[in-house]
Structure formats: structure tokens, C-alpha cells
């Protein structure tokens, strides 16, 4: 068994209105100086002046950079700005895209990252992984865990409902991810961390148990999903890989994003993938389907605007996305017809 270091966030603050604590939060982490804030234009318009006021009150002069997309070119642009401005830390403020770009840029220039999510759409909030386009692969890469995570529930509750539902899809995907991880341990003698696996499963079970409340989109439900996403990211930090968070269902999601670009959010396609992969694993997939329905996440190809053929093709292509990451899809190697059958049996098509 190889060794791996466990990397975790050092400070996590979750609660209503905690954005006003950002300055003190940075100070508690010993970050006194210039800060680079990476965000999207929408968040900048809504929150730019509020956040600038919060930071300048305490002599933290923020430098703002807007990102358009999670691409390698954007990561490089952020790195150059960070070097030029001599910042001591990078803040990723926004949805998945801004946090992902900020995370990889901060990692590359060896500066700490502070993650300030404005939605709960996936586990990148606290994980050591970043999903960036324009690399040699379509899946996320391991870099560094954020040093701090500050999640303001008031902001996240006001994000579009679809993003929260997507976050739930990413959480339910841990059920099939952990199953696949165990399979890789049993059949390929891969390192398997039971504690990290249990922690990831705990976050998925929370969604199953609280699906009705989460579906109502109230503060308690949203807070629970945010904590579960942070916890799943921490599970990846403990595992030292994305294994507890990402299995065959994620490979399906990545394949689908190549076959039908732009169809469905990350967590939406992972949730749909989890339904089918769970069935293939010999489990009762209806628990996942029911929970997805209750939280208002899509469970069918039609709901995310893809055809039955595209679903089947993505299932067939999935193992080739990461040949070395052994999952049930690698073991069973679906052909087109059996993929179509699986999608039909699970009600996805
Ligand atoms: Zn994910």
C-alpha cells in the first residue's frame, strides 16, 4: 500500500450571514495582506461592493478577477495576476467554476485557497480536486484542499433551486462511488479507506433521509446539503484521492459531457449515472431515484435534453475515460444494447 498525506481545510465556517465575517476569517488563518478574489461577472455585480467593503474595513485590499469558464487558459490568467499583484492568498467566490479555477491557480503558485461558495452544486467546495477544461482529460484532477471554507447559507439559499438539486445528485453518487472503490480493493488490491468511505456514504444517506425537507428548499435543508458536500470533500482529502466521491457514475457523467456537451449540470448527470450504475452493481436503485425525485433533481434523459442513444453511448464510453480507475463499468464492459437495456430498466430512458 502506498503512502498518502491527508490534506484537509483548517477552518470551516458555515452559517447565515457569515460573509460579513470574511475579514476575521482570513485573519484567523494568518492571512494579512493582499487577497485575490476570483469570481464570475454575475456574483461580482451582486456582491462586489459588499465584499470589498467588508475587506477594506480591515485593511485587506482585494484584487478582483472575473472568470468566464473553468479552462486552463483562465487558470493561467489568474496565476499571472496573482504573481503581478503579489497576493498572499486566493479566494474563490462563486459557484463551481470560480472555485475550481481559483483552486488550481492557487495550487500552482503555492498560495492558500479560501473557498467561498455561493451555491451548493457539487463537492468541489472543500475537496482537493479541481475540474478544469482544456487539460489532457475530462475528469477532475487532484491539487490541494482549500485552507478555509466559508459558506454563507443566506447566499446559498438564494441560488437557483436547480443548483441545490444538482449538489444532491453529486452526494447520492457517493453510494455507487464507494461500491466501486470497494470493488477495486477486492479485485485489484487497490488502497481502500473504510473511514473515508463511511464518511462519503454518510453524506449520501443524509440526502436520502432528508430528501423531503431538502426538496422544500428551506434554510435547514440547504444547510444540511452544504455540510454534507463539505464532508464529502473532506472524505476525498482523507482518502488522498477522489475515490470515495467518484466512481462509474462520474465516468458516465464525463463521457456524457463529451457526447452531449452542455447537457445537464455535473451533479444532475452524476445522479442519473448513479441510478444506472447502482442497478449494474446489483443493488436496488430505486432509493436513489426516489431521493433524486424528492429533491427535484432529474432522473431521466429527457429532463436533461439528451437522447436514449447518447445515454447508451456514454455508458459504453465511460470506462475509457479513465482505464486505470477500475469500476463496475470496467468489469462488466457494457455493449451498446446492454447499455440501452440498463437505461430502460432503470427508467432513465
Ligand atoms: Zn462530483
Same domain, 141 and 258: no
Asked which of 126, 157, 188 is the last residue of a domain, the reply is 157
* Residue 315 Cα to ligand 1 middle (Å): 17
Q: Is residue 132 in a domain? A: yes
Cα(141) to ligand 1 centroid in Å equals 12
Spacing, Cα 340 to ligand 1 middle (Å):
24
Same structural domain, 96 and 23: yes
pLDDT in tens, 213-246: 999 999 999 999 999 999 999 999 999 999 999 9
Same domain, 62 and 170: no
CA of 245 from ligand 1 middle (Å) equals 7
58-105 confidence digits (pLDDT tens): 777 899 999 989 999 999 999 999 999 999 999 999 988 999 999 999
For the segment 140-145, the average pLDDT, to the nearest whole number, is: 88
Are 48 and 139 within one domain?
A: yes
In a domain, 6, yes or no: no
Given a cut of 70, is residue 155 above it in pLDDT? yes
Q: Please indicate, yes or no, whether residues 131 and 103 belong to a single structural domain of this protein.
A: yes
Same domain, 234 and 283: yes
What is the reported pLDDT for 57? 82
Asked whether the predicted pLDDT for residue 1 surpasses 60, the reply is no
Does residue 175 share a domain with residue 151? no
pLDDT, tens only, 156-189: 999 999 999 999 999 999 999 999 999 999 999 9
- The pLDDT value recorded for residue 134 is 78
Q: Note the pLDDT tens digit of each residue in 243-302.
A: 999 999 999 999 999 999 999 999 999 999 999 999 999 999 999 999 999 999 999 999
**Which of the listed residues 127, 157, 187 is the one where a domain comes to its end?**
157
3, part of any domain? no
- pLDDT-derived band at 119 (thresholds 50, 70, 90) equals very high
Give me the CATH number covering residue 305: 1.20.1090.10
Q: How far apart are CA 298 and CA 157, in angstroms?
A: 20
What b/e sequence results for 142-173 when a residue is b if at least 16 CB atoms lie within 10 Å of its CB, and e otherwise? bbbbbbbbbbbbebbbebeebbbbbbbbbbbb
Residue 60 and residue 193 in one domain: no
Structural domains of the chain, count: 2
Q: In the chain, which residue ranges form alpha helices assigned H by DSSP?
A: 22-28, 41-56, 72-85, 96-108, 153-157, 161-188, 194-209, 211-215, 219-239, 248-259, 266-280, 286-294, 308-321, 328-332, 336-345
Domain boundary among 132, 157, 182: 157
2 band by pLDDT with thresholds 50, 70 and 90? low
291 in the same domain as 208: yes
Residue range 7-64, pLDDT digits in tens = 899 999 999 999 999 999 999 999 988 999 999 999 999 999 999 999 988 777 899 9
The whole-number pLDDT of residue 133 equals 84
Torsion angle of C-alpha atoms 287, 338, 262, 247, degrees rounded to 10? 60
- Does residue 2 belong to any structural domain of this protein? no
Q: Residue 5 domain-assigned? A: no
Q: Tell me: do 206 and 243 sit in the same domain.
A: yes
Question: 189 lies in a domain?
Answer: yes
Q: What is the mean pLDDT of residues 314-326?
A: 96
pLDDT of residue 302: 98
| Domain that residue 153 falls in | 11-157
Distance between Cα 64 and ligand 1 center (Å): 27
For 266, how many CA atoms within 13 A lie in the half-sphere containing its CB?
21
Decide: pTM greater than 0.85: yes
- Report how far ligand 1's centroid is from the alpha carbon of 156 (Å): 18
Ligand 1 centroid to Cα of residue 24, in Å, is: 31
Residues 85 and 234 both lie in one domain: no
194, burial (CB in 10 Å: exposed 0-12, middle 13-18, buried 19+): exposed
User: Does residue 230 lie in a domain region?
Assistant: yes
CATH number of the domain residue 36 falls in: 3.40.50.1970
Q: Do 178 and 320 belong together in one domain?
A: yes
Q: Give me ligand 1 centre to Cα 216, in Å.
A: 23
Q: For residue 165, how far is its CA from the centre of ligand 1 (angstroms)?
A: 13
Q: What is the pLDDT of residue 5?
A: 87
Question: Is residue 4 situated within a structural domain?
Answer: no
- Write down the pLDDT at residue 138: 76
Which residues are placed with Cβ below 5 angstroms of ligand 1, an ion? 170
Amino acid at each position: 500500500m502506498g503512502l498518502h498525506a491527508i490534506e484537509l481545510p483548517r477552518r470551516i465556517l458555515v452559517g447565515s450571514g457569515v460573509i460579513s465575517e470574511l475579514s476575521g476569517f482570513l485573519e484567523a488563518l494568518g492571512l494579512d495582506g493582499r487577497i485575490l478574489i476570483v469570481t464570475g461577472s454575475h456574483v461580482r455585480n451582486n456582491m462586489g461592493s459588499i465584499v470589498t467593503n467588508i475587506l477594506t474595513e480591515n485593511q485587506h485590499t482585494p484584487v478582483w478577477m472575473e472568470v468566464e469558464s473553468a479552462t486552463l487558459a483562465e487558470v493561467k490568467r489568474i496565476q499571472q495576476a496573482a504573481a503581478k499583484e503579489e497576493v498572499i492568498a486566493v479566494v474563490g467566490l462563486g459557484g463551481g467554476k470560480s472555485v475550481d479555477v481559483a483552486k488550481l491557480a492557487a495550487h500552482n503558485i503555492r498560495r492558500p485557497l479560501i473557498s467561498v461558495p455561493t451555491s451548493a452544486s457539487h463537492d468541489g467546495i472543500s475537496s482537493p480536486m479541481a475540474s478544469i477544461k482544456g487539460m489532457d482529460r475530462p475528469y477532475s484532477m487532484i491539487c490541494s484542499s482549500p485552507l478555509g471554507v466559508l459558506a454563507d447559507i443566506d447566499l446559498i439559499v438564494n441560488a437557483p433551486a436547480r443548483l441545490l438539486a444538482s449538489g444532491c445528485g453529486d452526494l447520492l453518487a457517493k453510494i455507487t462511488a464507494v461500491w466501486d472503490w470497494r470493488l477495486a480493493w477486492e479485485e485489484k488490491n487497490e488502497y481502500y479507506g473504510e473511514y473515508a468511505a463511511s464518511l462519503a456514504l454518510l453524506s449520501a444517506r443524509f440526502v436520502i433521509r432528508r430528501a423531503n425537507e431538502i426538496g422544500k428548499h428551506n434554510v435547514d435543508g440547504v444547510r444540511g446539503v452544504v455540510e454534507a458536500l463539505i464532508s464529502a470533500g473532506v472524505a476525498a482529502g482523507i482518502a488522498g484521492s477522489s475515490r470515495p466521491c467518484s466512481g462509474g457514475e462520474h465516468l458516465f457523467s464525463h463521457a456524457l459531457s463529451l457526447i452531449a456537451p452542455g447537457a445537464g449540470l455535473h451533479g444532475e448527470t452524476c445522479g442519473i449515472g448513479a441510478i444506472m450504475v447502482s442497478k449494474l452493481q446489483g443493488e436496488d436503485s430505486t432509493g436513489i431515484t426516489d431521493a433524486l425525485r424528492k429533491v427535484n433533481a432529474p432522473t431521466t434523459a429527457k429532463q436533461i435534453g439528451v437522447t436514449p442513444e447518447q445515454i447508451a453511448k456514454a455508458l459504453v464510453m465511460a470506462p475509457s475515460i479513465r482505464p486505470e480507475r477500475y469500476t463496475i463499468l470496467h468489469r462488466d464492459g457494457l455493449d451498446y444494447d446492454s447499455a440501452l437495456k440498463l437505461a430502460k430498466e432503470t427508467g432513465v430512458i
